[in-house]
Amino acid sequence: MTETGKKSVTYLTIGAEEAGQRLDNYLVRQCKGVPRSHLYRILRGGEVRVNKKRSTADYRVQEGDSIRLPPLRVAERPPLAEIEAAAQARVVLPILFEDAALLVIDKPAGIAVHGGSGVSFGVIETLRQQRPEARFLELAHRLDRETSGVLLIGKKRSALNKLHDMFREAGQLADKRYLMLVRGRWMNPLQQVKLPLHKYLTESGERRVRVDAGQGKPSHTVFRLLARWPRFSLLEGQLKTGRTHQLRVHLAHLGYPILGDEKYGDFALNKALQKEGLKRMALHAARMECPHPLEADKRLTLTAPLPEPLQRFIRHLDATGARDFSAEHLPEGLARPVSGNVVS
């Protein structure tokens, strides 16, 4: 470990392009290599000052704010940095939509949205390397590392702030739909799930979420049954709130864990399914409808087709055990089985 900069406090001044973002997010971007847990610790301890006063993580920095940082320690660059940079440059990030305000990609599974927590680079670092001329590229929201699908990136601070406001709206101005394969035979064509979720840290410091009636925040998901086989079901999940790991924890709590989920899933089943060809978590951000952040009269419909590995596993399920339910309207890439397999 090596200290960054001088062995003294550092003062930073917020510019116009930085204004409007949360203080914790600003610090993460400024303090590359510093663990998030350490940044939150110095925030709670009052070592970070805004205009000479203590502040909270959710404070939104304003142009002209003076930020005081204590001396920080960051990890040295890994010796394979050059090799990793070359690999980063080869990462393919399919573009679903782009204009002057935002960029929408189809994030591959297995790539984090940002570097950190043992990952040297993520989607946002890759985009910045591949587009060195871009003045501004920031994540508008997050997807878990093993989740694929629709991901929005702001290209202007004004657009990013609007997107953040939109995703915070209680009524969810953004209609987010996910596809997932789960263990078990889901029976209800439509099911509302309202279970409060609480974030906590394990003894090892890993972030987890659980259903907790006492400490949890209100969380609402709408699930629709799309297809069903003897052992598994295909669901669409519509987020009405945007809690961390909401879909994964709601389903695991109900006894229908997502296939391939290494945090909340059926670990023995996950291992067995690798031999059947499923080598990733079966969760995909398939569709998002939302207002354009800077054009009030424009609404965006953004879709990412189900990745081929998941389509291939569904074909495997059709070949090894006939569907006994198939919804009338199926997303792209989910063809109905051969006539005679469906009993509805």
User: Is 171 a residue whose pLDDT tops 70?
Assistant: no
The reported pLDDT for the residue numbered 83 is 45
Percentage of the chain surpassing pLDDT 70? 87
What is the chain's length?
344
User: Is 328 a residue whose pLDDT tops 60?
Assistant: yes
The reported pLDDT for the residue numbered 166 is 86
Q: What is the pLDDT of residues 130-145, one digit of tens each?
A: 888 988 999 999 999 9
The reported pLDDT for the residue numbered 114 is 82
The reported pLDDT for the residue numbered 10 is 87
The reported pLDDT for the residue numbered 82 is 46
The reported pLDDT for the residue numbered 338 is 52
Share the mean pLDDT of the chain.
86
- Rounded to an integer, the average pLDDT of 161-171 is 78
User: Is 344 a residue whose pLDDT tops 50?
Assistant: no
User: Which residues are identified as catalytic?
Assistant: 144
Q: Give 60: exposed, middle or buried? Use CB within 10 Å, 0-12, 13-18, 19+.
A: middle
- Rounded to an integer, the average pLDDT of 192-197 is 97
User: Is 87 a residue whose pLDDT tops 70?
Assistant: no
Domains belonging to the chain, first-starting first, are 2-74 (3.10.290.10), 81-161 (3.30.2350.10), 172-326 (3.30.2350.10)
User: Is 15 a residue whose pLDDT tops 70?
Assistant: yes
The reported pLDDT for the residue numbered 181 is 98
- Rounded to an integer, the average pLDDT of 276-290 is 96
User: Is 53 a residue whose pLDDT tops 70?
Assistant: yes
Query: What's the predicted TM-score (pTM) here?
Result: 0.76
Q: What is the pLDDT of residues 208-227, one digit of tens each?
A: 999 999 999 999 999 999 99
Higher pLDDT, 69 or 32: 69
User: Is 6 a residue whose pLDDT tops 70?
Assistant: no
Q: How far is Cα 99 from Cα 105, in angstroms, rounded to an integer? A: 12
Q: What is the pLDDT of residues 249-265, one digit of tens each?
A: 999 999 999 999 999 99
Q: How far is Cα 261 from Cα 269, in angstroms, rounded to an integer? A: 10
Q: How far is Cα 234 from Cα 181, in angstroms, rounded to an integer? A: 5
Higher pLDDT, 285 or 83: 285
Decide if 29 contacts 136 (C-beta within 8 A).
Answer: no
Decide if 270 contacts 283 (C-beta within 8 A).
Answer: no
Structural element, H or E, at residue 83:
helix 81-90
Decide if 208 contacts 201 (C-beta within 8 A).
Answer: yes
